[in-house]
């Protein structure tokens, strides 16, 4: 592993690469170099606009895949961002090849990732620092309900577009604590349905994955998305590792909806995102 500097910003790669093309977008002011996807990302500012620029094809320090696979995944992801449009989804502005790299340029959005794993050591070393996830979970209930409504609106769009929300978890979400707005920042692995599980364990966090995402040959569909959104509700209002009522702080009615959505038996869940949303909204009035 080697450390490099661009515009006074330090980043790490296994080998050096020419990243001078970034200058056409402005000055680098931050970097995200610990992603297991094989991508490295930069925040770039030209004085009037900010960009989030994701690069695949470099030998990153935390990658669990090859550079060729990372390039393929980001190329494929670009088509997903073009297919799914939502006001709370980070906006893809451009994507292209640079030498042996593939680049995706997004409009910058302010906010803090709700699962910023690259900062975990910082929180461990300084107990006075509260991770964004914990700060979010301490927000008043209504603010969290409003943020979850954004997730539901987004997932409704995902269902309408016919996609499975693979690897959709708290690390896919950013929250702006000043404006109280939620942004979906990562849908790279979303997959077009119908889909059969040909992987065994699919990509994703075990805290939010349905049983069929572990089962080779299983059908992956909108009912799987229902499980995902139900599991996310426990991160918003309870505990995503312990889905007990004792950990839940949004009332019995909403808890019952979330528990049904995360039933391990597919036929006992809500059978569509719309059905989940209807049940959720009805429970909010109780």
- State whether CATH 3.30.200.20 applies to domain 2-107: yes
At 55 the pLDDT is 94
Please list the ranges in the chain whose pLDDT falls under 70: 1, 117-121, 123-124
What is residue 118's predicted lDDT score, i.e. its pLDDT? Answer: 58
Q: What is the pLDDT at residue 187?
A: 95
Instruction: Say how far apart CA 169 and CA 147 lie, in whole Å.
Output: 14
Q: Where are the domains of the chain?
A: 2-107, 112-119+139-284
User: What integer pLDDT is reported at residue 116 of this predicted model?
Assistant: 81
What pLDDT does 161 receive? 98
CATH number attached to the domain at 112-119+139-284: 1.10.510.10
């Amino acid at each position: 592993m080697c450390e490099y500097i661009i515009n006074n910003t330090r980043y790490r790669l296994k080998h050096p690469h020419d990243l001078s093309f970034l200058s056409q977008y402005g000055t680098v002011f931050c970097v995200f170099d610990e992603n297991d996807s094989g991508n490295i990302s930069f925040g770039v500012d030209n004085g009037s606009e900010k960009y989030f620029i994701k690069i695949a094809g470099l030998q990153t320090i935390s990658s669990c895949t090859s550079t060729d696979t990372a390039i393929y995944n980001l190329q494929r992801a670009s088509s997903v961002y073009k297919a799914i449009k939502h006001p709370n989804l980070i906006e893809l502005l451009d994507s292209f090849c640079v030498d042996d790299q593939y680049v995706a340029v997004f409009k910058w959005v302010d906010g803090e990732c709700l699962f910023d794993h690259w900062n975990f050591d910082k929180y461990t070393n300084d107990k006075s620092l509260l991770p964004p996830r914990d700060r979010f979970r301490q927000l008043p209930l209504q603010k969290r309900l409003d943020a979850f409504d954004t997730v539901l609106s987004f997932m409704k769009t995902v269902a309408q577009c016919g996609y499975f929300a693979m690897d959709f978890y708290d690390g896919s979400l950013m929250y702006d604590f000043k404006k109280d707005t939620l942004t979906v920042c990562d849908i790279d692995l979303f997959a077009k349905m119908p889909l059969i599980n040909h992987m065994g364990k699919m990509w994703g966090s075990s805290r939010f994955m349905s049983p069929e995402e572990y089962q080779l040959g299983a059908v992956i569909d909108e009912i799987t998305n229902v499980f995902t959104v139900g599991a996310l509700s426990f991160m918003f209002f309870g505990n995503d590792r312990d889905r007990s009522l004792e950990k839940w702080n949004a009332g019995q009615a909403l808890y019952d909806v979330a528990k049904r959505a995360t039933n391990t038996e597919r036929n006992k869940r809500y059978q569509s995102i719309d059905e989940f949303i209807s049940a959720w909204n009805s429970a909010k009035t109780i």
